[in-house]
């Protein structure tokens, strides 16, 4: 068992299984969540439950955050006494998906207190969090990332992408690929079925070919089963696509495919699909085509 104390702030859909992975690897983990019941559920796994985020941070060697958005991360780190509770030399690992400028700003603020920061968003969903197979995209100093590789190991595979903010840029790139691929699979299924084919047989037929992907495997199956209970919501997918396009604008890039799929997700969310899984974009495209035939 490591003698390094870990604090984990944000034990929701993703955070809870990640904290369990750390507990299962022998780390002493103190957890906090705004909705305390979600933190209390980890007590049976050996976690210490803190009443406040600042209380969880006291004495931590590594502090993880897995929160909803940039506003939540900033509020927890700097508005609730967490930054003040951290000792110099502590490493903050932010697994939240937030804009790169926000990650760099957080890193700069913590650096003034002698606290290290790594932006380390993840991909792999709840399944990957439970299995410890997440893809962890890290931005920050190489030496600091190397220092905590053993702590990150139970969660998945960590790759340093570049300096502060680069992890968040990699996550945005990941979300681009996910969104565009979901849109492509949904449209292909519409095409095949409109011509008399079977969506399920189509997916089976192309498995193992050049179109193979985890999106085809998992989200393609969701589309066949029409199982749109969220793993990742369409609202969050839209949030990520907005962040992608903001980053692209700052870099003077034009991303037409991303812009097109963002427009479809925006329409889907506006029409009430925000809490549907992002594979539910299929239902939105079906409805659009049905309207076009009337």
Fold match between domain 5-163 and domain 169-293 = no
Of the residues 171, 239, 288, 293, only one is catalytic, namely 171
The C-alpha atoms of residue 255 and residue 224 are separated, in whole angstroms, by 29
Is 264's pLDDT higher than 90? yes
Residues in CB range of 196: below 8 A, 6 or more apart: none
The first and second tokens of residue 40, run together, are 């209390």
For the stretch 216-245, pLDDT in tens is: 999 999 999 999 998 889 998 998 899 999
The C-alpha atoms of residue 143 and residue 160 are separated, in whole angstroms, by 10
171 belongs to the catalytic site: yes
- pLDDT band at residue 1 under the 50/70/90 scheme: very low
Domain boundaries, the chain: 5-163, 169-293
The C-alpha atoms of residue 170 and residue 229 are separated, in whole angstroms, by 26
The architecture CATH gives domain 169-293: Orthogonal Bundle (1.10)
Write down the CATH number for the domain with range 5-163.
Answer: 3.40.50.720
For the stretch 58-103, pLDDT in tens is: 999 999 999 989 999 999 999 999 999 999 999 999 999 999 999 9
Least confident of 22-26, 48-52, 124-128: 124-128
């Amino acid at each position: 068992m490591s003698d390094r104390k870990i604090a984990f702030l944000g034990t929701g859909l993703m955070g809870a299984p990640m904290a369990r992975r750390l507990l299962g690897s022998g780390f002493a983990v103190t957890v906090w969540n705004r909705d305390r019941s979600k933190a209390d559920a980890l007590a049976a796994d050996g976690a210490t439950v803190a009443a406040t985020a600042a209380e969880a941070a006291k004495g931590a060697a590594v502090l993880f955050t897995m929160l909803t958005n940039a506003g939540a991360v900033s509020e927890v780190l700097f508005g609730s006494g967490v930054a003040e509770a951290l000792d110099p030399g502590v490493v903050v690992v932010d697994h939240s998906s937030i804009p790169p400028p926000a990650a760099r700003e957080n890193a700069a603020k913590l650096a003034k207190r002698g606290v290290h920061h790594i932006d380390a968003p993840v991909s792999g969903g709840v399944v990957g969090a439970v299995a410890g197979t997440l893809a962890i995209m890290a931005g920050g100093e190489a030496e600091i990332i190397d220092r905590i590789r053993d702590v990150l190991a139970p969660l998945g595979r960590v790759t340093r992408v570049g300096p502060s903010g680069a992890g968040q840029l990699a996550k945005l790139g990941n979300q681009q690929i996910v969104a565009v691929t979901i849109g492509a699979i949904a449209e292909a299924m519409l095409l095949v079925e409109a011509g008399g084919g079977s969506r399920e047989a189509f997916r089976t037929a192309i498995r193992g070919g050049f179109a193979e992907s985890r999106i085809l495997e998992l989200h393609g199956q969701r589309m066949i089963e029409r199982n749109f209970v969220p793993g990742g919501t369409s609202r969050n997918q839209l949030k990520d696509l907005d962040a992608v396009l903001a980053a692209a604008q700052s870099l003077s890039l034009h991303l037409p495919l991303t812009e097109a799929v963002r427009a479809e997700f925006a329409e889907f969310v506006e029409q009430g699909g925000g809490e549907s899984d992002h594979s539910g974009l299929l239902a939105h495209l079906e409805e659009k085509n049905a309207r076009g035939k009337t």
